[in-house]
Amino acid sequence: MGNLLLLMIIYLVYTGLSFWLFNGNFLSPSVVFLVSLSGMLCLAYYAANTMGMLFAIGLRTFSIFAIAGLLFILTELCVYLLRTSSYEEQKPEIKIKHEPLIVNWQIQICVIILFALSLLAAIYVLYVNTSGGSWSARMKEYRGLILNSPNIRYRFIVSQLYKINIVIMDLFGYIMIYNLTVCGVPVKSVLSYIIDALLYTVFCTVYNGARQTGVEAMLFLMMIYVVLNMKPGGRRKIYAFIWKILPVLVLIGGLFTVAGSFVGRVETQKSSFQNFVEYICGGLYFFNRHIDDPHTTHFGQASFAFVYALLYNIGIIPSDDIIMITSEFDIYGNTVTIFGRWYKDFGTTGVFVMTCIVSLIYSFVFYYKLLYSNNINKEHHLMRIYYCQFMTGLIWACYDDRIASLLTLQNIIFLVLVKFFFWLLIEKKFKLF
């Protein structure tokens, strides 16, 4: 237990250090990455000491986590220093009136209908592919089909709706927060967007048989708020927002555990808190368990599994080469933290190299494309949406490697469709008649 306690303290120090080094930027890549892992380590230590859960770690796990966290900070620091050394301080912002982003009311109604129909379609797919019983039992069976069966009737159709819904949700969510925060429009003028967010959350929960996408939608909206206030005088608003949002985060945590029964995940003999801890900390348990017995893979078959799947789908490689995670799981979920796939493919050195690469990419986007382009002009709207959407790769660092799932054709389509819909609905103000 000493290794876990010491690692927890080190990561808390890392988090404070990164917040200080990077000028209190809440969405700095290092801050997000380290908050994710620090929160997980605190939960793991508490659960191990008070609930007897199996979260002790060995020396090798300790060393990899400690060094990788430091490398993430140092890589961002290099980008930060290069950018700030070449950046000339901007003149004080001129107070200008920002016009709200307006989508035609006809389109707003159509989007609500689209989300509602998508939800009904997802429920239909659930029912035609499961054998019966309670909703929770059906969801549990359906989730098993998602993980193990390539042939789920009608799911392909709903999957196309899912891709479109993600694009519309991110765009409309951005419009909602921008209009409320920057333009000061009344809440009643964005009610349709709030309805969209609720319908989207329920739809994704049913479609995926999991709660994660719904949580990510709420996190996306919060990050958009923070991004829109990363400007002179904005930090006080961010602090006030965090203070106000804390009760909401507690409520979200409670809803997350309650929603476990909705998706067929909660076991009655466990408390809601234990289920939450297992979900967040299970990756640490399995990373530590398998670190002395890594499985052999071909180059990047776990870290770049979705790339391998794409190559298989177009006939370049045989199906035998598609490998994701082949470890044996018994308790605490089925994830291995952000480091697990990298270790599986490339070993300890690979973890350190991949950590530096990921930190470099996120830091470059943050400092060169986002932070110092922050006058809330039209050309910067898309970059904010992209950054906040892909921050899930760092938010879930404590849980699993979500970087792997970003390397998909679906995300390329996402980039194109967000830009297209922004041009069509906002710039061209498209309407049906």
Q: Is residue 21 part of a domain?
A: no
If one counts the domains in the chain, the total is 1
Q: Is residue 185 part of a domain?
A: yes
**151-160, 311-320, 376-385, 414-423: range with lowest mean pLDDT:** 311-320
Q: Is residue 406 part of a domain?
A: no
Q: Is residue 253 part of a domain?
A: yes
What pLDDT shows up at residue 79? 93
Contact 165, 204 (CB under 8 A): yes
What pLDDT shows up at residue 129? 87
pLDDT band at 349 (very low <50, low <70, confident <90, very high): very high
Averaged pLDDT for residues 265-285? 74
Q: Is residue 62 part of a domain?
A: no
Q: What percent of the chain has pLDDT over 90?
A: 33
- In whole angstroms, how far apart are CA 245 and each of 13, 219, 240? 24, 11, 9
Q: What is the pLDDT of residues 232-269, one digit of tens each?
A: 545 666 666 666 666 656 655 655 555 555 555 555 56
Q: Is residue 180 part of a domain?
A: yes
What pLDDT shows up at residue 371? 74
Q: Is residue 346 part of a domain?
A: no
Is the pLDDT confidence value at 90 over 60?
Answer: no
Q: Which domain holds residue 246?
A: 105-262+419-427
Torsion, Cα of 197, 260, 157, 417 (10° steps): 40
Paired with 337 in beta bridges are 400
Q: How far apart are CA 366 and CA 372, in angstroms?
A: 9
Q: Give the residue carrying structure tokens 């898309």.
A: 382
Q: Is residue 114 part of a domain?
A: yes
